[in-house]
Amino acid sequence: MSALPFVPPSCGQAASDRIEIYSSASLDASVYTCPQHTDEVSLTVMAGGLTPHPVRMPPGTTRCCGHVYVYPTGAFGNER
Ligand SMILES: [Zn+2]
């Protein structure tokens, strides 16, 4: 796995939001969060020098709060 500049919550509640995480040039990761953790994760991401962009979860998508998806072509992926 990649070393992310933030620690996602180990929460496990059903996520309501997906926070897209951008570095300067690319979309690098998405973190799924419940309502209690959206702000906290956004702040942590900003503290890491990245830009969070929260979006609502599309209906029918189920993820747990704290789930992280790293884009393989992004700054944290392995395909550079
Ligand atoms: Zn949570």
SS3 call for 11: coil
Query: Does 2 have pLDDT greater than 60?
Result: no
Q: Please, what is the end-to-end C-alpha distance for the chain in angstroms?
A: 15
Q: What pLDDT is stored for residue 79 in this prediction?
A: 62
Q: Where are the domains of the chain?
A: 17-70
Bridge-based pairing state of the strands 68-70 and 51-56: unpaired
What's the mean pLDDT in 12-21?
A: 96
Contact of 9 with 41, CB cutoff 8 Å: yes
Q: How far is the CA of 40 from the centre of ligand 1 (A)?
A: 9
Q: What gap in Å lies between CA 29 and CA 71, rounded to an integer? A: 5
Cα(21) to ligand 1 centroid in Å equals: 17
Q: What pTM, to 2 d.p., does this model score?
A: 0.87
CA–CA dist 41, 8 (Å, integer): 7
Q: Per-residue pLDDT tens for 21-65?
A: 999 889 999 999 999 999 999 999 999 899 999 999 988 989 999
pLDDT value for 1: 45
Centre of ligand 1 from the C-alpha of residue 72, in Å: 25
**Strand, coil or helix: what is 47?**
helix
What is the model's pLDDT at position 36?
A: 96
| Centre of ligand 1 from the C-alpha of residue 80, in Å | 31
